[in-house]
Chains A and B, each alone.
Chain A
């Protein structure tokens, strides 16, 4: 039984290989559709990772009330001392943000000015993979840049680059489990405050880490309550909610792309089904001969389904692999209002896209297979 099935698979493979042009064109079509599907899924997944809360999320963002862009959110730096004293707060870091483009963009450069001595205490998960933190601490214009950003711009330690009128020297390249960190350049807070002419003592936001996720809401409420009557009232939200609200237009746009992904899936299914229907029609006599030789209808159907599945799988491998390679190479980062969304393919997206391609090929070949199985032998031989 298994041997017979393997033989049928080999026969289906021969049919694909020997009908080279037809197979190549179909695979190309499937690959194009799966390229689009994988790209869309990668964007969707990146968005989910950036906006969906998990039990491990313990970060709050304190922003100026009624402000949505880094250039307009200005808070006194001394707020950090007040926040640090509040119950439930584990660490707080004042951040000055400068971006080259406040609107939606695929290539955002974000500077985050932070107090040098608090960065590693605030974010111990950050790992320096090239250069050194010491070098960063020594230089006023030193920058620790995220690895995705470094890859996108082809930057290495020792390089200098300029954006938003700020010229920095790269001291090191960092890697972080938080996607946002991998797309920004960390510089010293006073340096950025002066370089952007914002002035010392003013920052864009505070990132606050609470002791556990259960305290997010209570601490956020306490911060906003504390500064309600202060010179600059605040609006405090969990980091992912902050992203969801601040980049809502971008998110809507990204969510719309899901329809493109679905369209690609339907196109792939229709393409495979059409190719197989044509193949089945072109092989009516051939299949009748196989039936005459003692092939059950099920074996004929199995041949067609095998061909469809192989087309789906090979097309997926090309399309998904191409999309993964392209996205990894380009390191696209969608940005809006100073927030960045790194579009990086990951193993679950690649795996599910491959399975989707195989399933599409299989499902799309069911009807052609049914047609092939039901062809009457005698009429087909005439």
Chain B
């Protein structure tokens, strides 16, 4: 009887130890979780809260106004224009960004000699600051002294006002943004490709599959979750993009490149209408959540 009791106690101890062991990972991530909740979610929730008050530094009080800020801003011509420009900007950046990052990832996957060096080089644009990227693109596309126009002139072609004409300016900010955000997306896709079993390709080749068949029937289906994550990155980085656009075009010419993130900055930090800036922040957040959920569903792993 006493032996049974001792065994039960030991068993209990063992179970407790096992339970404790299971919780160790949670204890380990707790500090970072607290940090994220404390720093990120606090500011996001505080920002959302601000959007229900009228916080305007040109006015003395900050009364609660409910959804009034939303109703006012959603019908504002400038907000609608900015929203439309954002959609064009994000669609262009995601479309071009995905094609390029997939091509680069596939290229890097195939490269065997100096593979590490090439992968490191591919990351360089991401390591350059947004402001530096913007200034570089400003120099590239300037009408008078820009490299691209100098090249066009050399070919005997007319100069293009890349930064002075609305549609060209939009193209320039899409290119600059793509240059900035593609490296990280490339890394995500490359990670997915590297996780694939090389035997699959050998079997497919033995079975007579063409390279295109391998790409579309094996690689793409197997890295679908990674494609989803890469699309999420490209989309949210584009919706939130601010530090390249401001020094590159400052939203101009006119308001042709005034995307939502830039408009949010203008409202909050230039016009000092903090609550209106918070409304735009909330809308960008919602757009990011909706597109992320969409991508996660579309690119769900079928394997």
**Pair from one complex:** no
Residues of chain A having any CB pair with chain B under 8 Å: none
